[in-house]
Amino acid sequence: MPDRILEDRIVQAQQRWRNLYETFSFPFGKVCLTLGLTPNVLTISSFLCAAGAGLFFWRGHILLGVLMIVMTIFTDMLDGATARAGNLGTSFGGILDHVFDRYGEALILIGIALSGIVHPVWCLVALFGMTIASYTREAAEAIGKIENMAVGFFGRLQKLFIIILGSVLEYVFPGNNILTYALIIVGALSFMTSFHRLLFAQRVLKRRKNT
């Protein structure tokens, strides 16, 4: 019973956050519709911003890389908001969004690795952790047929904010390995999120079997 109560509270908290996020972003989706922008165009735009971030990091332009990550987050928000505002959501659009998100994360971290600011190993740790956390969610939803598996210690948005913060502090205080520590935190939180999602999926499937 305690596990079930905890699971229900997690789902409710996630749903409250999701409702708040969708309410906030909905007007932006309306604006995009007025401008003739489609969700898929915005998904591709988000990917291109991520590619730009990776390129700027690679060339040593940290603040421009940060700016492009912010644009990546913003356009990623817009694609979902536009789909909801115009009732344009499709299965393929959802798949495209997930795939391009993973490619975008990879390009950002590859750019940081090539910059020489941090050791490439820590970029690989962060990338592997973020990918596994996302895969755990998608596997649970696709294979286990579990709705709303966006549980965990930190989601994609929070991890990108940690990278942004670490990058800005690295620029302001160079030579202190702040971005390295940020990537280590991202990797650790990602692995913890993946483990949390596995436990959550196990409990949901066990409860489903017993009812």
The 10s digit of each residue's pLDDT in 118-168 is 999 999 999 999 999 988 888 888 887 877 666 766 788 889 999 999 999
Tokens, residue 17: 């956050």
CATH of 2-210, one of 1.20.120.140, 1.20.120.1760, 3.40.50.1240, 2.40.30.30: 1.20.120.1760
Which residues of the chain fall below pLDDT 50? 1
Instruction: Please tell me whether the overall predicted TM-score, pTM, comes out greater than 0.75 for this model.
Output: yes
Tokens, residue 143: 């294979």
Distance CA 122, CA 187 (A): 8
Instruction: Report in angstroms the alpha-carbon separations of 61 from 23, 64, 157, 211.
Output: 35, 6, 22, 56
Tokens, residue 139: 């596997």
Query: What does DSSP assign to residue 173?
Result: S
pLDDT of residue 1: 46
- The answer for 36, left when phi > 0, alpha when psi is -120 to 50, beta otherwise, is left
